[in-house]
């Protein structure tokens, strides 16, 4: 293992592979999540993130194993709960770099209540969902992002439900950075994740990360001809235009001509949660060395 | 006790019953008295029967007592509910004429009418003034200093302006004048004369928890509101900002416990407070905290259950879920506070134990204790022991650092973000000493034993448990939480009558303090465990962990024990034993 060399600016210079721990991934060969791991390492390296001041938090699922392969701090927590665990870290120690890496089931089924509340508060962290449209770890059940008709072990006859539109979901709940990436293009995915991590506020990257073992439809081969970069002239500050892109992001599931948008849909600057908390601490004259006698005097009655 | 006066104010929720009690409480504290309060009201915002009781003495008060000396009845319902307690020697102050009832004469009971509703509606043109009229009459009848009541009124309405304060003064005066002009005092009760105020601070149960947490070093409080735990957060929200901490309202209790775990992982002491339904949700992550070995404090302010049950009512029925809750083998500690002072000190103790052993620690309180107000000796903050976790504080060699090192105590050094070389990935998966996921029989066995070894030392660490009473008692009482205060009072009375009685007052309920309970049981003929739940939950834990077979005394009506009920049960046991030849 390498101990990071901190530069004057507080940034460190580490190669992407130096962000990996000694533990080797246990994913199936061909799993999209390998590329996501590489992309995250690239992003951390490019951004000069100090691994001793970064925590990668996950839930439970194939994808959620990711922090175990990393040399940063990590917390492989409980199914659905990565976001509130990460929120606790970020709100209590805002100076840390916090990223959450989870699967689509973790994010939108069991943990579905947590995204809206972290997003609307603009907590400065990055949520990376490895979206394979399936529950991988429990061996092939449909997830909230599974397309209609996709067979799963509890619906062998094919999914009778419609998927949720995750990009629209995040835009609606107030995420201040919303992007989509494709694990088939690790370099671009790394760049998008890198931008997400430098964004001040709640950033979201939906990474289409195929599960070749269980999802036989949404494969690398399926996506490759369909992915299409969001046009360079798209106004990323325009929420309605971003929602317009999101609205058509799943068209490809019904329409053979449909495209899968890749890149940044939306980015805006809003005060982050920690700034508001800081203002309150200042207002209340917060101190690390409180005058206890003065505090106790407040309980003497009138 | 030279002075032992209990005043009960009862009426309709929203009529100012509770604030009246608070005003009298403040007046008594200002007079240098010891005060213990008891409040009870329905969970509706307005309406329903509400009661505020305060017991005033010049000596340490053991419990809230059995009844009252003076009843102030705001309406007919309050009168009829409390009628059985209007025994000879008591006093009734009632709303009339022109109220909604007329009490019948009871031999030996002194009755004073005060037209509280009439005066407030007709003379003051504002029904809201009713409780102030009542307080004024109480001042006139029993000598509560008016300037003291006025000071409380002024403090409470400071933000609303002088006009509101003056209006309330007028209402107080109207009640005062009425009794002076219409009644001749015939009862013996007078409010104690002012003495030099003691060096005390006055706290509500939940307020003591909030203050204790901050003193313990807590700087993050993620929470989802639930009665009767909510006010812990209310008391913390501004206080914690003054020490650079923050109260964070989460989307549910699962998020609250998750966020507390996250904050604790990055080295910030944090806790959350909840009640029954929230405990059920939080149970989800107890195993994670135990497996990842994260210090975690959860306060459970118990209420009547199961389900929504009776949110504002007293019950001690979460011992099983807190001791046994969580899937798999989850080592944890359960503490229970008996009074307001313990709410403060045991909150600190809960943090200390969580920090030291890196496990979940529950502190149990309850709806009655949450609202109980007591004046406690001003804490000497500097002398309070604060334990901080075993954690890397300066750079460590990553090749050497093993987060889950299997030590003899079971405790290993935590890594802390920001400390170079101490990076590790915590996981809820079974893992090796250096965090790698493992499924081998050897690792599972060793690491399970590592985590459970931490509990081996808890009884020693938290000893000795207070024992009181006769060395060779006929009946020995083991109780927990608020019930201990009633037991104390019962023990004093029983011993005064010449009975041989003893009591043990454990604060750590889980792991069960086996050695000391065995020793106590060996010193008494019969062990009695009174507790406010139907199953006899602590009695069952004692039975399962020791050789002791206690007699259960259970109660589940939503109100705490009365000392006389415990007294009667002990006498029943003594008589039964005496009837059986040895
Ligand atoms: C409380 C709980 N319920 C169920 C499970 C079982 N479980 C583990 S992972 C998973 C779904 C994983 O799907 P996803 O989040 O999409 O991750 P993937 O494996 O596809 O990467 C489920 C249901 C669990 N671990 N915990
Ligand atoms: S089952 Fe699917 S998601 Fe899981 S490791 Fe294998 S390929 Fe990846
Ligand atoms: Mg998935």
pLDDT digits (tens, 9 = 90+) for B325-357: 999 999 999 999 999 999 999 999 999 999 999
Cα A213 to middle of ligand 2, angstroms? 6
Which of A75, A90, A278, A280 should we substitute to test contact with B (largest number of B Cβ atoms within 10 Å)?
A75
A168 neighbors A116 (Cβ within 8 angstroms) = no
Helices (H), strands (E): how many in chain B?
A: 20, 21
Q: Convert B300-320 to b/e letters by CB count within 10 Å (16 or more is b).
A: bbbbbbeeebbbbbbbbbbbb
Domains of chain A and any CATH numbers:
16-297 (3.40.50.970)
B330 neighbors B290 (Cβ within 8 angstroms) = yes
Quote the pLDDT of residue A7.
Answer: 46
Ligand 2 atom closest to A33 (CA): 8
Which of B215, B423, B430 should we substitute to test contact with A (largest number of A Cβ atoms within 10 Å)?
B423
Domains of chain B and any CATH numbers:
4-182 (3.40.920.10), 202-383 (3.40.50.970), 390-462 (no CATH), 465-579 (3.40.50.920)
Quote the pLDDT of residue B35.
Answer: 86
What average pLDDT does this structure show over B160-173?
Answer: 93
User: Dihedral, CA atoms, B428, B434, B437, B443, nearest 10 degrees?
Assistant: -100
For residue B423, give the nearest of A23, A73, A78 by CB distance: A73
Work out the minimum CA distance from B453 to partner chain A, whole angstroms.
Answer: 23
| Backbone angles phi and psi of B329, in degrees to 5 | -90, 105
Q: B477-490 pLDDT, tens per residue?
A: 999 999 999 999 99
The fraction of chain A above a pLDDT of 90, given in percent, is 95
Cα A216 to middle of ligand 2, angstroms? 12
Quote the pLDDT of residue B96.
Answer: 85
| Short-list A123, A34, A136, A47, CA closest to A85 | A123
Work out the minimum CA distance from A262 to partner chain B, whole angstroms.
Answer: 31
Q: B267-306 pLDDT, tens per residue?
A: 999 999 999 999 999 999 999 999 999 999 999 999 999 9
B465 neighbors B516 (Cβ within 8 angstroms) = yes
Question: Between B426 and B202, whose confidence is greater?
Answer: B426
Whether residues B219 and A76 touch (CB distance < 8 A) is answered with no
Cα A106 to middle of ligand 1, angstroms? 6
> What value does the mean pLDDT of chain B take?
94
Q: Whose CA is nearest to atom 6 of ligand 2?
A: A28
For residue B417, give the nearest of A93, A288, A295 by CB distance: A93
Of A163-167, B124-128, B129-133, the range with the highest mean pLDDT is A163-167
For residue B428, give the nearest of A4, A76, A300 by CB distance: A76
What average pLDDT does this structure show over B542-546?
Answer: 98
Question: Between A127 and B65, whose confidence is greater?
Answer: A127
Q: Convert B200-214 to b/e letters by CB count within 10 Å (16 or more is b).
A: bbbbbbbbbbbbbbb
**Residue A91, pLDDT above cutoff 70:** yes
List, in order, residues 6 or more apart from B578 with CB less than 8 Å away.
none
CB of A214 shorter than 6 A to ligand 2? yes
- The pairing of beta strand A177-182 with beta strand A260-267: antiparallel
Quote the pLDDT of residue B567.
Answer: 97
Q: B43-52 pLDDT, tens per residue?
A: 777 778 999 9
For residue A55, give the nearest of B30, B266, B399 by CB distance: B266
In this structure, of A176-180, B145-149, B479-483, the range with the lowest mean pLDDT score is: B145-149
What is the Cα A133 distance to its own chain's centre? 16
In this structure, of B165-174, B192-201, B226-235, B283-292, the range with the lowest mean pLDDT score is: B192-201
Quote the pLDDT of residue B32.
Answer: 79
Quote the pLDDT of residue B194.
Answer: 74
Quote the pLDDT of residue A16.
Answer: 98
Distance from C-alpha of B177 to C-alpha of B12, rounded to nearest angstrom: 24
Distance from C-alpha of B342 to C-alpha of B299, rounded to nearest angstrom: 13
B9 neighbors B72 (Cβ within 8 angstroms) = yes
The fraction of chain B above a pLDDT of 70, given in percent, is 99
Work out the minimum CA distance from B134 to partner chain A, whole angstroms.
Answer: 21
What average pLDDT does this structure show over A42-71?
Answer: 98
Quote the pLDDT of residue A302.
Answer: 47
A270-273 long-range contacts, CB within 8 A, separation 24+: A270/A122, A270/A176, A270/A201, A271/A122, A272/A122, A272/A123, A272/A124, A272/A200, A272/A201, A273/A90, A273/A91, A273/A121, A273/A122, A273/A123, A273/A124
List, in order, residues 6 or more apart from A89 with CB less than 8 Å away.
A55, A57, A75, A96, A98, B262, B263, B265, B266, B417
Ligand 1 atom closest to B284 (CA): 1
Quote the pLDDT of residue B581.
Answer: 63
A26: its two tokens: 């246990």
**Residue A8, pLDDT above cutoff 60:** no
A301: confidence class by pLDDT, cuts 50, 70, 90: low
Quote the pLDDT of residue B237.
Answer: 97
List, in order, residues 6 or more apart from B514 with CB less than 8 Å away.
B459, B545, B546
Q: B374-401 pLDDT, tens per residue?
A: 889 999 999 999 999 999 999 999 999 9
- Give, rounded to a whole angstrom, the gap between the first and last alpha carbons of chain A: 61
**Residue B62, pLDDT above cutoff 90:** no
- Cβ of residue A254 closer than 8 Å to a chain B Cβ: no
B379 neighbors B340 (Cβ within 8 angstroms) = no
Work out the minimum CA distance from A118 to partner chain B, whole angstroms.
Answer: 9
**Residue B212, pLDDT above cutoff 60:** yes
Quote the pLDDT of residue B538.
Answer: 98
Quote the pLDDT of residue B582.
Answer: 53
Ligand 1 atom closest to A135 (CA): 13
B580: confidence class by pLDDT, cuts 50, 70, 90: low
Distance from C-alpha of B136 to C-alpha of B112, rounded to nearest angstrom: 13
Q: B389-436 pLDDT, tens per residue?
A: 999 999 999 999 999 999 999 999 999 999 999 999 999 999 999 999
Closest-CA residue of chain B to A72: B423
Name the β-bridge partners of B293. Answer: none
Whether residues B262 and A280 touch (CB distance < 8 A) is answered with no
Interface of A with B in 17-76 (CB under 8 A): 21, 23, 51-57, 60, 67-68, 70-76
* B-chain residues near A92 (CB < 8 A): 219-220, 246, 262-263, 266, 268, 270
Q: Whose CA is nearest to atom 4 of ligand 1?
A: A79
List, in order, residues 6 or more apart from B111 with CB less than 8 Å away.
B91, B92, B93, B94, B103, B105
Cα A189 to middle of ligand 1, angstroms? 24
CB of A50 shorter than 6 A to ligand 2? no
Going by the DSSP 8-state scheme, the letter that residue A152 receives in this structure is B
For residue A3, give the nearest of B220, B252, B398 by CB distance: B398
Whether the complex's predicted ipTM is more than 0.90 is answered with: yes
* A-chain residues near B429 (CB < 8 A): 76
Whether residues B255 and A114 touch (CB distance < 8 A) is answered with yes
Whether residues B417 and A76 touch (CB distance < 8 A) is answered with no
**Residue A183, pLDDT above cutoff 70:** yes
B295 neighbors B264 (Cβ within 8 angstroms) = yes
Label each residue of B19-60 as H, E or C. Answer: HHHHHHHHHHHHCCCEEEEEEECCCCCCCCEEEEEEEEECCC
The length of chain B, given as a count of residues: 582
Quote the pLDDT of residue B23.
Answer: 87
Cα B224 to middle of ligand 3, angstroms? 29
The fraction of chain A above a pLDDT of 70, given in percent, is 96
Whether residues B425 and A89 touch (CB distance < 8 A) is answered with no
DSSP A55-112: EEEE-SSSGGGGGGGBSSEEEE--TT-HHHHHHHHHHH-TTSEEEEEEEHHIIIIITT
Quote the pLDDT of residue A4.
Answer: 46
Quote the pLDDT of residue A239.
Answer: 98
What average pLDDT does this structure show over A84-90?
Answer: 98
A277 neighbors B221 (Cβ within 8 angstroms) = no
Q: Convert A124-135 to b/e letters by CB count within 10 Å (16 or more is b).
A: bbbbbbbbbbbb
**Residue B2, pLDDT above cutoff 90:** no
A235 neighbors A241 (Cβ within 8 angstroms) = yes
Q: Whose CA is nearest to atom 5 of ligand 2?
A: A27
Ligand 2 atom closest to A214 (CA): 2
What average pLDDT does this structure show over B305-312?
Answer: 95
pTM of the complete model: 0.94
B79: its two tokens: 């009168």
Count CB neighbours of B534 within 10 A: 12
């Amino acid at each position: 293992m390498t101990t990071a060399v901190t530069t004057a600016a507080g940034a460190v210079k580490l190669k992407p592979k130096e962000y990996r721990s000694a533990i080797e991934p246990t994913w199936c060969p061909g799993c999209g999540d390998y590329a996501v791991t590489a992309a995250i390492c690239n992003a951390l390296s490019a951004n000069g993130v100090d691994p001793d001041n970064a925590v990668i938090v996950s839930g439970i699922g194939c994808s959620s194993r990711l922090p175990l392969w990393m040399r940063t701090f990590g917390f492989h927590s409980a199914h659905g709960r990565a976001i509130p665990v990460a929120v606790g870290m970020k709100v209590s120690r805002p100076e840390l770099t916090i990223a959450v890496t989870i699967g689509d089931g973790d994010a939108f089924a069991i943990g579905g209540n947590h995204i809206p509340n972290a997003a609307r508060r603009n907590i400065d962290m990055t949520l990376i969902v490895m979206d394979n449209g399936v529950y991988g770890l429990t061996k092939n059940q449909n997830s909230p992002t599974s397309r209609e008709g996709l067979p799963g072990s509890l619906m062998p006859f094919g999914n009778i439900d419609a998927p949720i539109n995750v990009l629209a979901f995040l835009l609606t709940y107030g995420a201040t950075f919303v992007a989509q990436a494709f694990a088939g293009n690790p370099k671009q995915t790394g760049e998008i994740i890198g931008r997400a991590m430098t964004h001040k506020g709640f950033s979201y990257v939906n990474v289409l990360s195929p599960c070749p073992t269980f999802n036989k439809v949404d494969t690398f081969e399926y996506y490759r001809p369909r992915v299409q970069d969001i046009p360079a002239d798209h106004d990323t500050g325009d929420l309605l235009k971003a929602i317009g892109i999101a609205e058509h992001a799943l068209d490809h599931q019904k329409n053979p001509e449909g495209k899968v948008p890749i890149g940044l849909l939306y980015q805006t600057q809003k005060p982050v949660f920690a700034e508001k908390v800081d203002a309150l601490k200042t207002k209340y004259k917060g101190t690390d060395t409180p005058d206890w006698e003065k505090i106790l005097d407040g309980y003497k009655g009138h | 006790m030279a002075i032992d006066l209990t005043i009960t104010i009862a009426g309709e929720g929203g009529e100012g019953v509770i604030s009246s009690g608070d005003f009298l409480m403040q007046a008594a504290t200002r007079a240098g008295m010891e005060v213990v309060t008891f409040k009870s009201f329905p969970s509706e915002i307005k309406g329903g029967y509400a009661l505020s009781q305060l017991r005033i003495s010049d000596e340490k008060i053991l419990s809230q007592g059995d009844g009252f000396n003076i009843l102030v009845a705001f309406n007919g319902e309050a009168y009829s509910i409390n009628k059985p307690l209007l025994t000879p020697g008591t006093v009734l102050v009632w709303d009339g004429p022109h109220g909604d009832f007329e009490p019948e004469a009871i031999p030996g009971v002194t009755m004073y009418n005060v037209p509280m509703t009439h005066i407030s509606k007709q003379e003051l043109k504002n029904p809201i003034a009713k409780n102030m009229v009542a307080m004024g009459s109480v001042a006139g009848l029993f000598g509560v200093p008016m300037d003291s009541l006025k000071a409380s009124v002024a403090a409470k309405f400071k933000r609303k302006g002088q006009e509101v304060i003056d209006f309330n003064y007028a209402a107080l005066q109207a009640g005062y004048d009425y009794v002076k002009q219409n009644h001749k005092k015939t009862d013996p009760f007078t409010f104690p004369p002012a003495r030099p105020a003691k060096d005390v601070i006055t706290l509500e149960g939940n307020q003591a928890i909030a203050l204790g947490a901050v003193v313990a070093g807590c700087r993050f409080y993620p929470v989802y509101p639930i009665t009767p735990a909510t006010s812990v957060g209310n008391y913390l929200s501004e206080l914690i900002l003054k020490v650079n901490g923050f109260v964070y309202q989460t989307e549910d209790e699962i998020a609250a416990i998750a966020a507390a775990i996250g904050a604790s992982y990055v080295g910030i002491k944090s806790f959350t407070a909840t009640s029954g339904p929230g405990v059920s949700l939080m149970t989800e992550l107890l195993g994670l905290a135990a497996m990842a070995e994260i210090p975690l404090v959860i306060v459970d302010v118990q209420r009547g259950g199961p389900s929504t049950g009776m949110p504002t009512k007293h019950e001690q029925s979460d011992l099983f879920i807190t001791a046994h809750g969580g899937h798999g083998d989850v080592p944890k500690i359960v503490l229970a506070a008996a009074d307001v002072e313990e709410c403060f000190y045991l909150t600190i103790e809960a943090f200390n134990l969580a920090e030291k052993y890196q496990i979940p620690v529950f502190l149990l309180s309850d709806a009655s204790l949450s609202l109980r107000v007591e004046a406690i000796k001003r804490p000497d903050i500097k002398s309070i022991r604060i334990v901080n976790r075993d954690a890397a504080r300066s750079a460590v060699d990553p090749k050497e650092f093993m987060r889950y090192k299997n030590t003899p105590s079971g405790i290993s050094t935590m890594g802390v973000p920001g400390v170079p070389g101490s990076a590790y990935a915590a996981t809820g998966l079974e893992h090796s000493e250096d965090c790698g996921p493992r499924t081998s029989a050897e690792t599972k066995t060793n690491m399970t034993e590592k985590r459970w070894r931490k509990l081996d030392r808890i009884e020693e660490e938290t000893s000795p448990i207070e024992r009181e009473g006769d060395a060779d008692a006929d009946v020995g009482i083991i109780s927990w939480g608020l019930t201990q205060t009633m037991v104390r009072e019962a023990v004093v009375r029983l011993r005064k009558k010449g009975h041989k009685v003893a009591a043990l007052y454990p604060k750590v309920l889980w792991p069960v303090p086996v050695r000391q309970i065995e020793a106590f049981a060996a010193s008494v003929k019969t062990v009695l465990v009174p507790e406010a739940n139907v199953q006899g939950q602590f009695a069952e834990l004692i039975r399962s962990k020791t050789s002791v077979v206690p007699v259960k005394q259970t109660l589940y009506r939503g109100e705490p024990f009365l000392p006389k009920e415990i007294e009667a049960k002990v006498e029943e046991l003594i008589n039964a034993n005496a009837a059986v030849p040895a």
